[in-house]
Amino acid sequence: MRILPALLALLSSAAAATPTIYVYALSWTPGFCYEQNYPGCKSPLSYWETNFTIHGLWPQYIDTGYPSSCTSEPFDTSIPSQVGETTMVQYWPDVQYSVDDPQYDSFWIHEWTKHGTCTGLSQLEYFDQAIQLTQSIPTPSILVDSIGHNISAPALRSSMGGTNYVALQCKNQRLVGAYTCWNQVDGFPTAQMVCPASVLKEDTCMLSDEIIITSLTTR
């Protein structure tokens, strides 16, 4: 009876060390904030009005599924100050809370606990790598130019690598985010890649070829 826990621990350790790929999940704050009165939606940073922000960096198996909660390592509350509190809030915000709310770290805690523990990276490496990605990938100009209007869904997918490279996320055909897929080496993301079918089928912007791009100022 003691073999099973040991085996599960071994599998969790292996998953943490060698995730197959990454899903890099982005949020479109204006769409997420549509008809919401969260503190961050009412007082947004100007950056959020025209740029994707980070939802998470998630280890993903090629065929289907993903590892989760691979270790019991707790979130290091010094991480925001190590990365830079302003940097974390700008690129990886939780608009459901005001910055001075004691629960503001809860989003980062969740992402580390569920996903970061399966990367094989240190906490500082995990958060820093996700932020470096978003700093190196500009939000498509076609999206920025369409704020407050509709956009062609195929054109937006094309601007983000192509149909097989991104799964757009919509709520009632209103853009709220996007999933892209990345190769990794030793836990560090390297280059964007074709997404497996298990990720592509999560595209929720398929109701029509037009996507609504919400503006934070007119929500």
Chain centre distance of CA 213: 18
Contacts for 137 with CB less than 8 Å, ≥ 6 apart? none
Q: Which of 85, 110, 115, 210 is catalytic?
A: 115
Helix (H) or strand (E) holding 58: strand 53-60
DSSP secondary structure code for residue 194 in this structure? P
Verify whether residue 110 is a known catalytic residue: no
Verify whether residue 149 is a known catalytic residue: no
Q: Which of 111, 125, 202, 210 is catalytic?
A: 111
CB-count exposure of residue 216 (10 Å: 0-12, 13-18, 19+) = buried
Q: Which of 35, 55, 125, 210 is catalytic?
A: 55
Contact 183, 18 (CB under 8 A): no
Verify whether residue 55 is a known catalytic residue: yes
Give the β-pairing of 174-185 and 21-27.
antiparallel
Contact 178, 165 (CB under 8 A): no
CA distance linking residue 13 with residue 119, whole number of Å? 10
Which residues are tagged catalytic? 55, 111, 115
